[in-house]
Amino acid sequence: MTRARAIQNKIRAPQSDAPHAVAATVSSVAAANSEGYPEPPAHAKVTAAERPFWDDIIRSRARDEWSRIEVVWAVQLARVMAAIEALQAELAAGSYTIVTDKGWPATNPKVGAISQLSTRQLRLSNALRITGMAVGDPSTIVNNRKAERQAEGILNKAREGDPEGLLAL
């Protein structure tokens, strides 16, 4: 090796993870623009009342983190959350107590139903690992979710600046 070549090798910039970071960003942007989040399977329908809960649940994790069985569990969780909301609305319009046939005051049965549904909601949330804490390698999971949300933000800003939809994202 010549002396000039040895000097070039010494001053060459160290290898970085920049190509990997760029690839991850491109992958996140592609995912944000691709088919989207999983939809409920054909055998597990989501009603209009359950849909807002479904959307929030399914967006709590990155797209590629959902297995097929977890998508079904997400449907069940959306159902439970919608049922809790419906019962709480009924309870708010009524009373926490009722009068029995014998004239005694008693707790409204809807209170117990809400409690049972809340327990089921917590169990499904734990099964889906969407309890507010990342499970597994937190740095990887959190970074993937952050990159996906940043990519969605970039796409949304690009779409806002292109009201006619001329950009092919």
DSSP 66-119: --HHHHHHHHHHHHHHHHHHHHHHHHHHS-SEEE-TTS-EEE-HHHHHHHHHHH
| Rounded Cα gap, residues 50 and 28, in angstroms | 28
Residue 12 lies in a domain: no
Domain contains 75: yes
- In the chain, how many domains are there? 1
Q: Is residue 114 a part of any domain in this protein?
A: yes
What pTM, to 2 d.p., does this model score?
0.61
d(CA 39, CA 37): 6
Q: Is residue 83 part of a domain?
A: yes
**Amino acid at residue number 116:** Q
Predicted confidence pLDDT, tens digits, the chain (169 residues): 566 555 555 555 445 555 555 556 555 554 554 457 899 999 999 999 999 999 999 998 888 889 999 999 999 999 999 999 999 999 999 999 999 999 999 999 999 999 999 999 999 999 998 876 555 556 666 777 777 778 878 877 777 876 666 555 5
Residue 52 in domain? yes
Query: Is residue 5, in this structure, part of any structural domain at all?
Result: no
Q: Report how far residue 50's alpha carbon sits from residue 56's, in angstroms, rounded to the nearest whole number.
A: 10
The neighbour count for residue 66, using CB atoms within 10 Å, is 16
Domain that holds residue 132: 18-160
CA dist 9 and 150 (Å) reads 37
User: Does residue 1 lie within any of the structural domains?
Assistant: no
Residue 9 lies in a domain: no
